[in-house]
Amino acid sequence: MKKIVFYITTALLTIFLFPAQAVAGSEDGQVTDAAIEMIDPSIKTADPSIKLMDAEEALNAESEALIDRLEEINEMDKSDLTRSEKRELRNEVREIDKALSGGGVYLSVGALILVIVLLVLLL
């Protein structure tokens, strides 16, 4: 009975802790022709970096549009807005901030001290 519980626990931990998509693209980071054809079969290209540049340009244009929207919200006269409209604007600003920041790794002071202590002890 103990072995079965151990095996089930190990299997569940392996399933939940193993990343589902370890490698999202090719090793060199370029978009392959097969990936482009999966998205749009009408596109035929020999150089996959062309589509990668277009995607980067689209990302830059989208981020510029979001920044412009933030500037519009900041310049608005919010004194005549109702409470629900102000709440909607706040939520929109938060969503735009999340989209622009992209996330990251944050370490607390305690975690940073713990890492430094471990490095000192191990090295």
DSSP secondary structure letters along the chain: -HHHHHHHHHHHHHHHHS-S-S--S-TT-PPPHHHHHHH-TT---S-THHHHHHHHHHHHHHHHHHHHHHHHHHHS--TTS-HHHHHHHHHHHHHHHHHHH-------HHHHHHHHHHHHHH-
Please check the confidence at residue 19 and state whether its pLDDT lies above 90: no
Q: Is residue 60, in this structure, part of any structural domain at all?
A: yes
User: Would you state the pLDDT for residue 42?
Assistant: 56
Q: Is residue 87, in this structure, part of any structural domain at all?
A: no
Q: Is residue 114, in this structure, part of any structural domain at all?
A: no
- In whole angstroms, how far apart are CA 39 and each of 6, 10, 16, 34, 35? 43, 38, 29, 9, 6
Between 123 and 113, the more confident residue is 113
Over range 19-23, report the average pLDDT. 52
The whole-model pTM stands at 0.43
Q: Is residue 6, in this structure, part of any structural domain at all?
A: yes
Q: Is residue 50, in this structure, part of any structural domain at all?
A: yes
| pLDDT tens track for 86-97 | 999 999 999 988
User: Would you state the pLDDT for residue 68?
Assistant: 92
Q: Which domain holds residue 42?
A: 2-78+92-102
Query: What is the pLDDT confidence band of residue 84, given thresholds at 50, 70 and 90?
Result: very high
| pLDDT tens track for 29-83 | 555 555 555 555 555 555 555 555 567 777 788 888 899 999 999 999 888 999 9
User: Would you state the pLDDT for residue 91?
Assistant: 93
Distance CA 84, CA 82 (A): 6
Domain count, the chain: 1
